[in-house]
Amino acid sequence: MDVVDPLAAIRERFAVDDGVTYLDGNSLGALPRGVPGRMAEVIEREWGALRIRSWEESGWWTAPERIGDRIATLIGAGPGQVVVGDSTSVNVFKAVVAAVRIARSRAPGTVPREEVLVDASTFPTDGYIAESAARMTGTRIRAVAPGAMAAEIGPRTAVALVNHVDYRSGRLHDLPGTTAAAHAAGALVVWDLCHSAGALPVGLDAHAADFAVGCTYKYLNGGPGAPAYLYVRRELQPLFDSPLPGWNSHADPFSMAASYAPADGAVRGRVGTPDILSMLALEAALEVWEGVSIEAVREKSLALTDFFLECVEHHVPPGAVESVTPAAHAERGSQVALRCRGAGEVMRELTARGVVGDYRRPDVLRFGFTPLYTSFADVERAARVLGQVLTTADGRL
């Protein structure tokens, strides 16, 4: 399978230790080999020699939009709709508040848009941020199972905040259907793409998504704490009223005007001075995507996860684990989550034996498959070692 894998050669673009099976790219992607050299250049020449001149001469000032356009190609968005900067949490806040404001501005005097629907299984920070946004906008939060989101959106809904892929189970949610249902009800949707961008086609423009946010340190391999991004559909940009109007998003930032006038386009998503070092590390990391199609990545992702489940069935004693990741390809992201007794201890032992995944309390083992550098041999070894860990010398669990 590795011999015929069309993406096998991409593995050489990463600093991957062949002695370790790394299946935690859904938490932190591996280091692309081109990043250290690029960072040395940025630090020594652009910062060390050019200093302040680099804002113009080295393109620092336009980096958020330039890198945003590179990410846009991976999430199915045209240019000028993605800006890089801040954290996912901050971008969730911008998007939810702005979406509420837009929804209300479109239907004044009718049924009040008083609720924000939140994916009931969401990553905790998204829920915390949504609650704060609701307090700020005078709306109320209602938690809804993501599979029921389309049916629950109604005339009182301002916005729905949904994870495209569930971080715990790896379940892929219905972006086209949920977005269409929201639009039919006059509401908007904010999509969290943290566990889907770089792992599968998203199709934001094709499905007329409103807002999307995501981190860049998972399948996009931008490095720990790499800046996040914000997508604002082109048609909504003139209405995008950010709750964080910083000087970087001003129409004339260097005028230092006392009053705020927003810039045009996705630039409105900027706030303060960009975090240049981590942003340019991300830009270098994105070079690994040269010549790679997201469709090929998705095809390999499904093959890897299918093969892992097959190998687990072969190597792991019956009844020792239970998959909580959907079997259907249309409902699966790029990870497999296994429920297991003593999961924390099991993951510690796997890591000690050179198989790195992660653990989510109370009983879930997560294995993330990054098609750009995960091999089929990695997959087989991981399942085999898992079977060994779950079986004692005399064959008892």
Q: What is the pLDDT of residue 393?
A: 37
From the list 105, 65, 32, 121, the residue with the least C-alpha distance to 269 is 65
Residue 54: CB atoms within 10 A of its CB come to 19
pLDDT digits (tens, 9 = 90+) for 220-254: 999 999 999 999 999 999 999 999 999 999 999 99
Token duo for residue 179: 């977005």
Token duo for residue 357: 């995944």
* Backbone φ and ψ of 148, nearest 5°: -100, 0
pLDDT digits (tens, 9 = 90+) for 10-57: 999 999 988 899 999 999 999 999 999 999 999 999 999 999 999 999
| Beta strand residue intervals within the chain, DSSP E | 21-22, 82-84, 115-119, 140-144, 157-163, 188-192, 211-214, 229-232, 321-323, 335-340, 355-356, 358-360, 364-368
In whole angstroms, give the CA distance from residue 278 to residue 297: 25
From the list 170, 117, 122, the residue with the least C-alpha distance to 144 is 117
In whole angstroms, give the CA distance from residue 374 to residue 22: 8
pLDDT digits (tens, 9 = 90+) for 248-293: 999 999 999 999 999 999 999 999 999 999 999 999 999 999 999 9
CA distances from 259 to 193, 238, 250, 251 (A): 34, 18, 9, 11
Inter-residue contact 336 to 367 (CB < 8 Å): yes
Burial class (CB in 10 A: 0-12, 13-18, 19+), 147: middle
Q: What is the pLDDT of residue 109?
A: 67
The average pLDDT across 284-310 equals: 98
pLDDT digits (tens, 9 = 90+) for 70-80: 999 999 999 99
* List 14, 22, 93, 123, catalytic entry: 123
CATH 3.90.1150.10 domain span(s) along the chain: 8-32+292-389
Q: Is residue 217 annotated as a catalytic residue, yes or no? A: yes
Q: Work out the pLDDT band at 372, boundaries 50, 70, 90.
A: very high
Is residue 395 pLDDT above 90, yes or no?
A: no
In whole angstroms, give the CA distance from residue 337 to residue 210: 30
In whole angstroms, give the CA distance from residue 288 to residue 297: 13
Inter-residue contact 222 to 278 (CB < 8 Å): yes
In whole angstroms, give the CA distance from residue 144 to residue 167: 16
Q: What is the pLDDT of residue 107?
A: 75
CATH 3.40.640.10 domain span(s) along the chain: 62-273
* List 11, 218, 233, 381, catalytic entry: 218
Is residue 316 pLDDT above 60, yes or no?
A: yes
From the list 186, 181, 25, the residue with the least C-alpha distance to 100 is 186
Q: What is the pLDDT of residue 392?
A: 65
pLDDT digits (tens, 9 = 90+) for 143-173: 999 999 999 999 999 999 999 999 999 999 9
Q: What is the pLDDT of residue 397?
A: 44
Tell me, what DSSP letter sits at residue 250?
B
Inter-residue contact 391 to 317 (CB < 8 Å): yes
CATH no. for 62-273: 3.40.640.10
pLDDT digits (tens, 9 = 90+) for 191-227: 999 999 999 999 999 999 999 999 999 999 999 999 9
pLDDT digits (tens, 9 = 90+) for 67-126: 999 999 999 999 999 999 999 999 999 999 999 999 999 877 678 999 999 999 999 999
CATH no. for 8-32+292-389: 3.90.1150.10
* List 101, 233, 300, 366, catalytic entry: 366
Residue 256: CB atoms within 10 A of its CB come to 8
Token pair 């969730």 is found at 92
Q: Is residue 300 annotated as a catalytic residue, yes or no? A: no
* List 86, 126, 192, 210, catalytic entry: 192
Q: Is residue 2 annotated as a catalytic residue, yes or no? A: no
